Amino acid sequence: MAENESLLDVQTRLAEHYREIIKLLGEDESREGLLKTPLRVAKAMQSLTRGYYEDPEAVLTSAMFQEDYKQMVIVKDIDFFSLCEHHMLPFFGKAHVAYIPRKYITGLSKIPRVVDIFAHRLQVQERMTLQIKECIQKTLNPLGVMVVIEAQHMCMQMRGVEKQNSLTTTSDFTGFFQQAKTREEFMNLIKK
């Protein structure tokens, strides 16, 4: 979005493009059931991609506290929804995030908010996993971070290979999580 363009201007332009897409698909865009569809889709796309306008580091620092705690902090089973950048179809699942504080902790609700910010962008699961890890590592400077994401991809289930029960798992880690024992502890705790 250009700096001088308002969200309403973008919404109007998106709606115009979706109206044209409906025509190109062979539908009558003036049909009663489709009259408001272009605007609805434009609003939905703005909501689904709102992560471009949010700062995940600012979210973490808004509730950052000095604390002498050096054990694993885990927020697991964080539901998320995203759009794959290749087909703009949904992928969704659960994120599991752990960090071992060095000096600072953050409010527990901030970890799911960081997941949501990166999920609300056109994404690939691998990059989203990396971005969440890097954001927490850079902002909190903990002794280690680990992120595991498990997701179902509609681009694999609705089209292409059409594999309904496939699940994709990605992981990334830093610091103390490079030790197999620490990773194993995390994996055991998120399975419970």
Active site residues: 84-87, 125, 153, 155
Could you tell me which residues come within 8 angstroms of residue 167 by beta carbon, excluding any fewer than 6 positions away? 93, 150, 151, 152
* Axis crossing angle, helix 110-119 with helix 125-140, rounded to the nearest 10: 140
Give dist(CA 56, CA 160) in Å, integer. Answer: 34
Quickly tell me which residue has 């950048």 as its tokens.
85
Beta bridge partners of 146: 98, 173
Tokens representing 113?
A: 């908010």
Tokens representing 26?
A: 């062979």
Give dist(CA 48, CA 1) in Å, integer. Answer: 15
Closest CA to 137 of 54, 53, 57: 57
